[in-house]
């Protein structure tokens, strides 16, 4: 029962990672990514400008942090999916070898 739940959770993580990977490969996402990256470049230039006030810098950092958080979340979901895939493969390999071991013991 616990193993079924674990397997289901791993499979769910794998499916989520695949969905994220597919989404990130769409032309629309690439356009969005380029737009955000350009916004980050512009904000970085402004932050480095000594004429910009601390208040403006704080505002720019908040705006940029949204994209950084989105990227981090996407990477985390994909990493979790990859690790889940490896864990599921290990479980399946263990399940395939376990009966042979118990047969030899008998």
**41 domain residue, yes or no:** yes
**105 domain residue, yes or no:** no
> Which residue's structure tokens are 């499979």?
11
**77 domain residue, yes or no:** yes
- State if pTM tops 0.85: no
**99 domain residue, yes or no:** no
**89 domain residue, yes or no:** no
**63 domain residue, yes or no:** yes
Provide the domain limits for residue 47: 2-84
d(CA 19, CA 82): 13
pLDDT digits (tens, 9 = 90+) for 2-34: 778 889 999 999 999 999 999 999 999 999 999
**Are 77 and 17 in contact, with CB atoms under 8 Å apart?**
yes
**8 domain residue, yes or no:** yes
Total structural domains in the chain? 1
pLDDT digits (tens, 9 = 90+) for 28-76: 999 999 998 898 899 989 989 999 999 999 998 888 888 889 999 999 9
**90 domain residue, yes or no:** no
């Amino acid at each position: 029962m616990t193993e079924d739940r674990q397997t289901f959770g791993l499979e769910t993580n794998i499916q989520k990672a695949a969905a994220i990977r597919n989404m990130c490969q769409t032309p629309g996402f690439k356009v969005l990514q380029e737009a955000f990256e350009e916004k980050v470049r512009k904000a970085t230039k402004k932050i480095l400008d000594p004429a910009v006030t601390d208040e403006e810098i704080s505002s720019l950092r908040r705006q940029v942090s949204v994209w950084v958080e989105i990227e981090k979340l996407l990477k985390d979901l994909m990493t979790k999916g990859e690790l889940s895939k490896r864990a599921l493969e290990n479980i399946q390999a263990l399940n395939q070898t376990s009966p042979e071991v118990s047969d030899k013991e008998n």
